[in-house]
Chain A
Amino acid sequence: DAGVIQSPRHEVTEMGQEVTLRCKPISGHNSLFWYRQTMMRGLELLIYFNNNVPIDDSGMPEDRFSAKMPNASFSTLKIQPSEPRDSAVYFCASSLGVAGNTIYFGEGSWLTVV
């Protein structure tokens, strides 16, 4: 039974480059979340979608970050241009409904910007 699938698992990129992280939620789930984990700030919610519609993007750090969910089975988080302070683990999660106790996280995308 496939869980939340994220790609790439690891990415190293140079400052100024565009980074695109991808997520395939669990089939049938209608809510999708993007979280970021850093040493300094821990796990932070960046944005979440319900039925493919962005509901709350107040956690998106700045205009360099954008997220899309063109359909129920795919979402992207894009950083353009990337900066070293964007280095973090980015987690995608999905749930049926928006209940916190039913969220399933992917394994994360480890991003390093040099």
Chain B
Amino acid sequence: DQQVKQNSPSLSVQEGRISILNCDYTNSMFDYFLWYKKYPAEGPTFLISISSIKDKNEDGRFTVFLNKSAKHLSLHIVPSQPGDSAVYFCAASGSGNTGKLIFGQGTTLQVKP
């Protein structure tokens, strides 16, 4: 039973446009959410996070939105760049900001020049 779901396996956008990656979760006890980025043959790297007490967190071109009532979060990348092409994993924690993370399946983003 997948507690964190990324329903879109892949996404393709044009350079300069907005990329929106979505993530849904089922466990209302999750209180901290993270996005990781993964290039081929490398491990995931932390991108951005948000606590459940917030509904938005921004870091440069990356913004994460959290809608607790809908159990939904999204990652916005504006503007998208070819170097953003990677697999993006959504992750959730049920005990604050801990390393015990439940990951989604990942979404492969391709940004076309």
User: Which of A's residues lie within 8 Å of B, judged by CB?
Assistant: 4, 31, 33, 35, 42-45, 48, 56, 91, 93, 95, 98-108
Query: Residue-by-residue, is B66-91 near A (CB-CB < 8 Å gives 1, otherwise 0)?
Result: 00000000000000000000000101
Give the residues in chain A near B53, CB-CB below 8 Å: none
Determine whether the beta carbon of A98 is less than 8 Å from that of B89.
no
User: Which of B's residues lie within 8 Å of A, judged by CB?
Assistant: 2, 32, 34, 41-46, 49, 89, 91, 93, 97-106
Secondary structure call for the B interface: loop
Q: With A and B bound together, what is the CA distance between A91 and B99 in angstroms?
A: 13
Give the residues in chain B near A106, CB-CB below 8 Å: 43
Determine whether the beta carbon of B105 is less than 8 Å from that of A100.
no
> Among the listed A4, A42, A44, which residue makes an inter-chain contact with B43, where contact means beta carbons less than 8 Å apart?
A4
Give the residues in chain A near B46, CB-CB below 8 Å: 100-103
The 6 lowest CB-CB distance pairs between A and B, nearest first, are A105-B43, A43-B103, A42-B105, A99-B97, A101-B49, A98-B98
Give the residues in chain A near B104, CB-CB below 8 Å: 42
Q: With A and B bound together, what is the CA distance between A35 and B43 in angstroms?
A: 10
A-B contacts, 17 listed (Cβ < 8 Å)? A4-B43, A42-B2, A42-B105, A42-B106, A43-B44, A43-B101, A43-B103, A43-B106, A95-B99, A100-B91, A101-B46, A101-B97, A103-B99, A103-B101, A104-B43, A108-B41, A108-B42
Secondary structure call for the A interface: strand
Give the residues in chain A near B103, CB-CB below 8 Å: 35, 42-44
Given A42-B106, A43-B89, are A100 and B101 neighbors across the interface (CB < 8 Å)?
yes
Determine whether the beta carbon of B106 is less than 8 Å from that of A99.
no
Chain B proximity of A114: nearest CB distance (Å): 21
Q: With A and B bound together, what is the CA distance between A42 and B45 in angstroms?
A: 16
Chain A proximity of B73: nearest CB distance (Å): 14
Determine whether the beta carbon of B99 is less than 8 Å from that of A100.
yes
Give the residues in chain B near A102, CB-CB below 8 Å: 46
Residue of B nearest to A3 (CB): B43
Q: With A and B bound together, what is the CA distance between A8 and B41 in angstroms?
A: 13
Q: With A and B bound together, what is the CA distance between A108 and B45 in angstroms?
A: 12
